[in-house]
Amino acid sequence: MRNTVMMLGLAALTAAPAMAQSVQVRVENLTPDGGFSFSPVWLGFHDGSFNMFDAGTQARDLDGIQQIAELADAGPLGARFGMEQPMGVGGLVASTAGVPPFEPGESASTVFDVGDATQNRFMSYASMVVPSNDLFFGNDDALEIFDAAGNFNGPFTIEIYGRDVWDAGTEVNNILDGAAFIEGSDAMAGADEFEDIALFFSRPGADDYLASIVGQTTPTGATITSPIAEGELLGRITVVPAPGVAGVGLVAGLGLMARRRR
């Protein structure tokens, strides 16, 4: 996984910590005023066998990633998740500040009951980068948030940088043709593209595409003035025990674990 993940807590003080079944997930948009937004972030807690997408392969119509990346529609991905993971738990974290997308500076938290933590040990996430034709962020390798005994492995802080943004490869990057969340644009239009899912900044013309978005207006009336930079911290997802949930194991010490997709 390419996202930098910080894990706090090196050792549990309890000899046999109990199973944690509820977590609180917080999503923050850290872009400046005039920056990009995120669609409501889809999360799935599962047994590790759910393969949300594979970098280097084409997104398929029924995968759900194409619909998130082009239209911010998590419905198909959620439906597929429900079929493949009948014991899994899925849902959205959405901004509560007027409109569901996370605009610059906005944040929100949601508590998820993950059920059996020895079963739903892994977490996947995905969100559209707004506005764009088909850019998104998400983890192609699921994050193991519980160990095999159901003990919480975190807390976790997932930092999302510009270099972590994916291009779904399903729609040609032309902000004036089919881009979602651009004033006056028909999001159902746009030229089909048949490229593999790849990191956006690895695409030729990535900077030119971002420059073409500057000055565009979103349906909420915001004007994009700050393009994404490869090394810019765009957002943060934090996963901690839900408030008031006991038995997740007290933690001591401070550690840093970096997991990157090579």
In tens, the pLDDT along 168-184 reads: 999 999 999 988 888 88
Query: Within a domain: residue 260?
Result: no
- If we measure between CA atoms, which residue out of 52, 45, 55 comes closest to residue 77? 52
Domain membership of residue 10 as a residue range: 4-252
Q: What are phi and psi of 7, to 5 degrees?
A: -115, 120
Tokens found for residue 212: 């073409």
> Residue 46: CA atoms inside 13 Å, Cβ hemisphere, count?
23
Query: Within a domain: residue 210?
Result: yes
Low-confidence ranges of the chain (pLDDT < 50): 1-2, 4-18, 20, 246-262
Query: Within a domain: residue 11?
Result: yes
Report the CATH number at residue 229.
Answer: 2.60.40.2130
Tokens found for residue 156: 């976790």
Q: Which residue has the tokens 């492995």?
A: 153
Tokens found for residue 47: 């047994």
pLDDT attached to residue 185: 83
pLDDT attached to residue 221: 84
Query: Within a domain: residue 262?
Result: no
Query: Within a domain: residue 129?
Result: yes
pLDDT attached to residue 219: 80
205 touches 102 (CB < 8 A): no
pLDDT attached to residue 246: 47
156 touches 7 (CB < 8 A): yes
pTM: 0.85
Rounded distance, CA 192 to CA 173, Å?
10
Query: Within a domain: residue 257?
Result: no
For the chain, the C-alpha Rg in angstroms (whole number) is 18
Query: Within a domain: residue 258?
Result: no
In tens, the pLDDT along 57-109 reads: 998 766 899 999 999 999 999 999 999 999 999 999 998 766 678 999 999 99
Alpha-helix residue ranges (DSSP H) falling in 85-205: none
| Strand arrangement of the beta sheet that strand 233-241 belongs to | 4-7, 156-161, 233-241, 22-29, 107-113
Query: Within a domain: residue 172?
Result: yes
Structural domains in the chain (count): 1
Alpha-helix residue ranges (DSSP H) falling in the chain: 65-71, 75-84, 206-213
218 touches 179 (CB < 8 A): no
Q: How far apart are the first and last CA of the chain?
A: 8
Tokens found for residue 141: 């390798």
Tokens found for residue 12: 């549990």
pLDDT attached to residue 29: 96
pLDDT attached to residue 183: 86
